[in-house]
Chain A
Amino acid sequence: MVANNSQQALSITLRVWRQAGPDQPGKFVDYPAKDLSPHMSFLEMLDMVNDELTRKGEEPIAFAHDCREGICGTCSCTINGKPHGPGRGIATCQLYMRTFHDGDVIVVEPFRATAFPIVKDLVTDRSGFDKIMKSGGFITARAGSAPEANATLIPKENADLAMDAAACIGCGACVAACKNASAMLFVAAKVSHLGLLPQGEVERDRRVLAMVGTMEEQGFGNCTNYYECSAACPKLISHDFIARMNRDYLKASFRSAFQHASNSTGGGAG
């Protein structure tokens, strides 16, 4: 949507969450930002405000960013109550000032959740996601060098679905958007992306049990099917993946309880 203000310079008031450190109290502080180009990105606007703060000898606003092209998942502000701000299917770094109107008050907060403790200002510690990944978000099978492309046939539907899930950049917007701070969309995307492909399918049960277990240990909440996560996702990953993970988890639980398993402890012929 291009508003009619897309060519005019605009001035806004930023209402930013300032917090000096993890255990410090935080509060909202207003900063004026004047004569902004509508073509400026939201993060460039923050850079400008920070330049101004630095010139005045004040502490600049800490915010997380890296690629600034919507692929790394580092940027992480909740803007006007929505993770990554207004707009559908974009990360904060892809948000432009033309989305706003002259005179707007823009509320900027960190991605809030107990499992994402605030490090400083708008920066949160999202290593809970890394711990979930470490517990099963990988494939241990040796794949060797690149195989002949047609050696393993993968149905197109599965490949497409796996790619949809693989679009997850692990930013944590789903957690911030969820009333329960649940990480189900993130975990579901990872579990589905790997489980849908033949190399990852081998460890499908173990993966889903381990990753869901770690998700709980990290203090993320439980899904109550509100679907706020997928609406806030910068990659618009569908909550259908959550349904898929629920099914995977339940199947894996029943299978691990009843399936015939070998008594052997080592490898090779006995």
Chain B
Amino acid sequence: MSLVGNLFKSSIGRKFLMAATGVVLIGFVIGHLVGNLQVFQHPDHLNGYAQFLHNLGPWLWVARIVLIVAVAVHIWAATMLSLENKQARGAQPGVKLWIRASLASRAVRWTGYIVLAFLIYHLAHFTFGVAGKEHFKERLPGYLMTSDYRVAGFPVVKQGTEVLDVHSMVILGFQNPIVAVFYIIAVGLLSFHLLHGVDSLFQTFGLRSSRWSGALRKVAVVVCLAYFLGNLLIPGAVLIGAKGLREGYRGPGAHVAAAR
């Protein structure tokens, strides 16, 4: 078999693709969280950041395509491997005693598919405005930047620019308790998925060994817990009323933003 054949058809090759796409997705979700935490700063931050991403134009699409391909390959490989595994196991009419497999590993398939369902809802919510239409960013009044938004010291979005009010959209969205609780549950499951994933990918790459697997597990637990807490903070703070709308927010319908 060729290299491509080995990667896409063989058991270990598909696992490698799954682990490699997993690394891309882990990088993304951590970067995404760090970006989102700017909601706790002045609205210039999150709104400037969103505008900066949109200004990337074609580069934004490159990143989006990489992520779409990563998600597609990851889920394709997971599904193929799972179907083969079911076939290989066959009927098990008797008793099965679990000796030591962790709950995170045993639940990984279900947490994965639930995360996928969440991902689709999330995109419908904040990217396409299909869910939660009334507070979608394009229906909210535009936001005037009160200071420059800087990336690595460069002012990428200038003071006075009118941008979409992502900051208010996020807070309005999470003021619905059902939405906020759903987000919290979903990121909890994602964190649990990653607990197995972070550990597992080192085994798949052939880098794990009992000399340091104990430490690796601890690092995975800390990373996943920190990731969960970071994500809990945003809907959690809005839900308990600790984080409210910005001062001077005027409500939808007043003025439809032109800039995109």
Contact = CB atoms under 8 A, between A and B. Distances in A.
Chains A and B come from one and the same complex? yes
Interface string A233-244: 000001110111
Contact of A247 (B92, B99, B207): B207
Contacts of B81: 222, 224
Interface string B171-199: 00000000000000000000000001001
A212 B101 contact: no
Interface in A241-261: 242-250, 253-254, 256-258
A114 B12 contact: no
A258 B16 CA distance: 18
A240 B98 contact: no
B122 interface: no
Contacts of A91: none
A115 interface: yes
Given A80-B97, A246-B205, 17 more contacts: A17-B94, A78-B94, A81-B97, A107-B95, A109-B94, A180-B89, A209-B1, A219-B88, A224-B105, A224-B108, A225-B105, A226-B101, A228-B100, A243-B206, A243-B207, A246-B206, A256-B3
A212 B6 CA distance: 10
B87 interface: yes
B13 A253 contact: yes
Nearest to A257: B3
B85 A246 contact: no
Interface string B227-240: 00000000000000
23 contacts: A78-B94, A78-B95, A112-B91, A112-B94, A179-B96, A180-B88, A181-B85, A209-B6, A216-B11, A219-B87, A222-B81, A222-B88, A223-B11, A224-B81, A225-B105, A227-B100, A228-B100, A243-B207, A245-B12, A247-B206, A249-B10, A250-B13, A253-B3
Contacts of B2: 257
A109 B106 CA distance: 23
A90 interface: no
Interface of B: 1-3, 6-7, 10-16, 81, 84-85, 87-102, 105-106, 108, 196, 199-200, 202-210
Contacts, number: 144
Interface string A148-191: 00000000000000000000000000000101111010000000
B106 A222 contact: no
Contacts of B203: 225, 239, 242-243, 246
Interface residues of A, number: 53
Contacts of B7: 253
Given A243-B207, A246-B15, A81 B95 contact: yes
Contact of B88 (A107, A181, A254, A258): A181
Contact of A215 (B1, B11, B196, B206): B11
Most A-side CB within 10 Å, residue of B11, B84, B102, B208: B11
A129 interface: no
